[in-house]
Amino acid sequence: MLSVTGLGKRHPGAARPLFSELRFAVGAGEVVALVGESGVGKSTLLNCIAGLEPADTGTVLVGPDAADMARLDEAAAAALRARRIGFVFQAFHVLPTLNVAQNIAVPLLLNGIDAAEHPARIEELLARVGLAGFGSRWPASLSGGELQRVAIARALVHRPSLILADEPTGNLDPRTADEVLSLLLERVRASHAGALIVTHSQHVAQACDRILALTPEGLR
Amino acid sequence: MMRLGWWLIRAQFLARRGATALSMLAIALGVALGYAIHLINDAALADFSRAMKAVQGEPDVVIAARDGAGHVPLALIDLLSRDEAVAVLAPVIETRVRIGDTPMLVRLIGLDPFSAAQLMPMLLPDQANDAMGRLLDGAVFASPALAAKVGADTTVIRGAARWQTHIGGELPAAPAGERLLVADIAWVQAHFGPREGVGEIRIRLHPETPLAAWRASWAPKLPAGIELRAAADNQARVSNISRAYRVNLNVLAMVALLTGAFLVFATQLTAVAQRSTQFALLGVLGLPPRQRLLQVLVEGLAIGVPGSAGGLLLGFGLATGFTRVLGGDLGGGFFSAASPEIDAQTLPAAGFFALGCLASLLGALYPAWLNRIQPLAQALKTGFAQRQRPGAGHALGRDLLLILVLTVGALALTRVPAIADLPLGGYAAITLLLILGIVSAPLATRALFGALARAWLPAPQKIAVQNILQAPLMAQVAASGLIVSFALTVSMVTMVSSFRTALDQWLDAVLPAPFYMRSKAVPLPAELLADLARPDSPFLRVERMAASSFSLDPQRPAVALLVREIDRRQPGARLPFSGAVIDVAPTEIPVWVSEAMQEVHGIAVGQQLRLPLLGRDVEVTVGGIWRDYARQFGAVVMSADDYLALGGHFEATDLALWPRPGQEAVAQSWLRGEAQRLGVEAAASGEIRELSLSIFDKSFAITHALEAAAMLIGLFGLAVTLAASIWLRARELATLAALGFDRAMLGRAVVLEGAMIAGIGLLLGLACGIGVGAILTEVVNPQAFHWRMPLRVPWTQVLPVAGLTLLAAMLASGIAARQATRMPAARILAGAQ
């Protein structure tokens, strides 16, 4: 689902590259944790994979027969993200002016999926993340755990090849974090997508199938 | 994708109802003002044209005397009648007369019924009851508007000439509301002249005749003092009368539209800033960059479309209501107060609708671009990137260069002469000056507050100064709105104050006598003048003036000819000269021309001119240029002695009267009685002054409303952008709160910041306003209206407005600060915003 080869990045003016020659892959239904100290480049790596920041070297292939994300222009990268990637963020990032169903529908709209299909897909996902009947609720009325469940539903609704999650449980209390993590892992595996989860939490990392540690020397 | 766009627009409008509605209103007002001006003027011109066709018929060409005292000689009529290209030739004498001893002034048209039947049928009576026979026998026929007011027998009077006649019937097809009499030309000529010719000849050519070639062949054959006007010349002449006035009103409409564009800009910029995280999220989820740009543009258009549609309706309503109440006169006094029908045609409506939409798109353009280029990952994490790009070491040099270029450009544009009689250079210079004000803001901020940053200050003040010096985009936007609105206010106040002061001084100079009497364009009755000359008259001294006009260019409005009892050695005793006055040799004829003549025809003191007077070209010398705020299209003063020496008849239309000492009250009472009896105007100089200033104040009352609107919009822009800026910095404020700032300290910091932004805006606005005021008085007014006046800045009006604006800005900042600090700091820091 994700294949990274020879990826390198150096910030302008920096003495040495943030990372270089990174090589790894994430398979279908596989959940990989990306750990490392602060400032080592985890978020930059995630941005490079998502096409939000240009890499200096290397290739990033997302899904089968995909173009190299690292070589796409802004518009093409956006189109590829819309089709192949689902995102889950630490700060939830649920649009406050759209209701729950509308938030989940955003990736469907971006992919031009027939509007007739939306209600069924959204209802099904809401049920699976434990929010059945929440479609017409507004984000302001939801708890942190509920907001992250909406984000997970949104990340999966368009059936992406890859889920990128940045500290998905960082803003949640331990019990809610456990629930959300279990849900995320279950839904990713059930959808046969690959997932790369950036985390500082050993607990989260241990729950994943594999752990990649990013260090100044490279991946371990 | 469209559905997502619609969701975002709806959410945006619901969340920012007030700002959105105000932006729509501003666009609507701009469109309404422009559209209403267009509709009223179009209707007035069409109405005028219809009325003119009714009275004049539809000749291809009119050959007429260039001045009121001239005439078209009979020999020329004879020559023209033998031209095979001429199909119909209709001689006409038109004059203004008084009916009996009533105070009624009417047009008397003398025509040849046989040629008029082909060219001007609307001016003829019904064929029934031998009306034509009675017309030829000396009866006069009245338009319906006049017939209702006069009896069967009447006396037609002009100056000393009287004609006892009877009303033969009505002119059923004459224009509604027009007071006119029609008589056979021979009778009119016999009673009122001219004996040796006619006033004008209206000609219809055979259809196959090429007009331009015919005109070119006849132009050299015409005697001096006669001009040839094509039908198109009349249209141009009518249109030229109000052109500058209309353009000025349209510029005001454009300012209103640009204000709307600014409000859309402020609204959309803050909307983009507040939703930067949301747009970044959508970008991360795959919304293409082009769509992020289009979304903001469409939101701008969503303000513009209903705003423009509302503006069209409002404009139509305004135009309809305005013409019903005030007629087709746009307020400039150019057309008679008829009530023309408003005709809303599709193409102009579509044009104004498009203009409104364009203005709102223009306003949304920069915010849309900012939204397009926001770095997604950074915006998702930290929100809107509002700081200026770091490392702009060349910023100072670039700013200085830009300021220099704009200053030189604006100065150069003020030197550009009028283009097609319009002050386009002046308008462009004003635009550059306003841009100059905006781009000077960062430099002025550094110059004014740079030293403060190095000084020791209490923490809140230090924070405020630092924030200002970093010149966030929002602060610049807030200051820009205030710079433009205050500049426009100061400029209008300055222009109006300069004009009023100049008018006041001018009235002092042109009203030396205690009493005045006038009879518009009709000689005063001979018995009145005889009574005034009697030894027992209550007046010690009477100065006479005869007002008429002449044409220098068939496409331009006529120039006033004022023949006055004036001492040619001391014209300064009666005329307010604006420059040097020269002594003209006794063998030459001096004239003194108004500033409008100087402006339009490029006339200089000492210059020799050939004026079309008394049916011929008369060589005169310009003895001086005088200020005239009464006649916009130019005036020439000549002494009565010179005019009489040239062979002219000096028939007074205006009198200046000095009562005998101690008989002021008797004189005034006598004058009022005579004025009422004869239908002429009489007034004391104090009344004329009061009336003139009151008309001036009423004419410019609208500018006060515009000033208030400009200031409110500027303040609104400041409040909105300040609130958005503070909202964006809520996390920063929360951090300060966590570090120990209490709410009062935060409030002080924000209020000081608002005050500093407003201070910069007001200071630059004041400087630009004085500059724009100077351009209005020195360039725009002389070029558009031919009025010159010395510049005067009314500090007693400007400074209180500045003080109030500063207070309002601080109040707006205080409210914004209170809202920003209402949420607990811990919650904001936890990312709950």
Looking at the structure of chain A, the number of domains it has is 1
Per DSSP, A194 falls in state: E
Neighbouring C-beta atoms of residue B11, cutoff 10 Å: 17
Residue of chain A nearest B275, judged by CA positions: A95
Q: Is the pLDDT confidence value at B246 over 80?
A: no
d(CA A122, CA A119): 5
Residue of chain B nearest A79, judged by CA positions: B286
Q: Collect all residues with Cβ–Cβ distance below 8 Å to A130 and sequence separation of at least 6.
A: A149, A183
- Asked if A106 lies within 8 A of B289 by C-beta distance, the reply is no
Is A113 or B521 the better-scoring residue by pLDDT?
A: A113
Residue of chain B nearest A44, judged by CA positions: B377
- Asked if A115 lies within 8 A of B3 by C-beta distance, the reply is yes
Give the DSSP H/E element, type plus range, for residue B204: strand B200-205
Q: Collect all residues with Cβ–Cβ distance below 8 Å to B365 and sequence separation of at least 6.
A: B297, B300
Chain B interface mutation, best of A81, A90, A167, A172, highest count of B Cβ atoms under 10 Å = A81
The residue written with tokens 């709950």 in the block is B832
Spans of chain A, pLDDT less than 50? none
Residue A174 sits in a domain of what CATH number? 3.40.50.300
Res. B332 pLDDT band, cuts 50 70 90: very low
Q: Which chain B residues have any C-beta within 8 angstroms of a chain A C-beta? A: 1, 3-4, 7-8, 11-12, 14-15, 277-278, 281-290, 376-377, 380, 831
d(CA B740, CA A91): 26
d(CA B399, CA B413): 21
Residues B433, B439, B444, B447, CA torsion sign: negative
pLDDT tens digit string along A160-202? 999 999 989 887 888 888 888 888 888 888 888 999 999 999 9
pLDDT tens digit string along B81-117? 899 999 999 999 988 888 876 667 788 999 998 888 8
Mean pLDDT, residues B644-659 taken together: 91
Instruction: State which residues form the domain around A109.
Output: 2-219
Give the DSSP H/E element, type plus range, for residue B166: strand B161-170
- Asked if B289 lies within 8 A of A89 by C-beta distance, the reply is no
pLDDT for the residue B823? 65
Q: Is the pLDDT confidence value at B418 over 50?
A: yes
- Asked if A87 lies within 8 A of B278 by C-beta distance, the reply is no
Residues of A in Cβ contact (< 8 Å) with B8: 97
Per DSSP, B619 falls in state: E
- Asked if A98 lies within 8 A of B11 by C-beta distance, the reply is yes
State the Cα torsion B508-B514-B515-B521 to the nearest 10°: -30
Residue of chain B nearest A154, judged by CA positions: B285
Helices (H), B700-742: 701-728, 730-739
Distance from CA of A102 to the nearest CA of B (A): 9
pLDDT tens digit string along B12-65? 888 778 778 878 887 888 888 888 878 887 787 777 677 666 666 778 888 988
* Angle between helical axes of B395-414 and B441-454 (0-180°, round to 10): 140
pLDDT for the residue B123? 85
- Asked if B286 lies within 8 A of A81 by C-beta distance, the reply is yes
Q: DSSP letter string over B35-54?
A: HHHHHHHHHHHHHHHHHHHH
d(CA B156, CA A30): 110
Residue from B463, B469, B384 nearest B747 by CA: B463
